[in-house]
Structure 1
Amino acid sequence: MARRADLVGLTVLALLTVRASHPYELHRLIVDTHKDYVTGLPRSLYHAVERLTADELIAPVETVREGRRPERTVYEITDEGRRELATRLRTLLETPGPDRRTFTAAVSLVGVLPPADALQSLRTRAATLEGMLAGADGHLGAMRESGLPDLLMIELDYERTLTAAELDWVRALVARLESGRLDWSSTTDPELLAKVLGER
């Protein structure tokens, strides 16, 4: 994606794949599940809902009122919203970028993708990270050979270390997926969502 990733909108789309909800419910779920990459709540959430509605990625389905509370509009994800969500998620999973929060968000929501799609995207990311690591090693080697002191290369060494650690983690996640040790079914379970929200 050329533009900055809309992590709030991405999260709203992902949560609405589980069940239709109103913004207050979505806010509670984001907080209760520690989606800390989502910032600016609650304003950012309401803005995201407006944008997604205007883009026809979500649609209002009903208005509810509980007791004396104000009316709340319940939204559901559209078919176009599901396609957009899958595209955005695959892009964030496959493409390393300078903002590491985007990958945190993508792995936080990866359960909405079919396992095969997630696995392919993570393999693509691993291959890209391998290339980045080889490039960093070559760059550092050339700088050392030129006689530059290590202190002038310390930030490159730091970035190389972060890339290597991410690659190790992604490879381990791929191995868990390939072996079937990572349970995929529970992430889209409406009963789990109700439990998190404290409903019965």
Structure 2
Amino acid sequence: MAPREKKERKARSALSDVVTREYTIHLHKHVFGHGFKKRAPKAVKAVTEFARKAMGTQDVRIDPGLNAAIWNHGIRNVPRRIRVRLARQRNDDEDSKEKLYTLASFVEVADFKFHSSRRSLSTLITELLSGVKISSCQESETLAPNVPPPQVLLIVRVLQGVLMGLALFTWWFEEMWAEVSSSHGHSTTAKPED
């Protein structure tokens, strides 16, 4: 077998280093088999290790909301799964040896199904307001200010279509109701009381 040629790596820009992604972490497999009094600390360490591997930074910071969500039911009863938003950001400290750090924050979800590639409506609204594209499978890009992403425009158009359909249906229903009531001798206006 011939030796493989080494490919030259492209230099990474600082803009592409700043990225936000959402992940679901299965905590149960990290705390299963551990003593009750070590479960919540082990879960926090598992989230830190997951963020370190996923984002490629040694400096991982846990948001207090994420810590509270892990410890919410005590030291023993750690949630089976947890949805986290990992944001790789620039480190502003001049004396730090790492130029990037990862901030892990809690994302509250109703259930954990179908989150791998779909973005939720709350994520899309957050993107629209902050101007940063949040994705679970792609790196984020900075959007032009006051320009909504195409997904938000699509959702707005779909909602407009649904509202137009509801308006047409209510108009049609009122017309049909008036026609049926007049054919049966009922008046659509209320009778005056004596």
**TM-score, normalized by length of structure 1?**
0.27
Richer in strand (by share): 2
Structure having the higher Rg: 2
Richer in helix (by share): 1
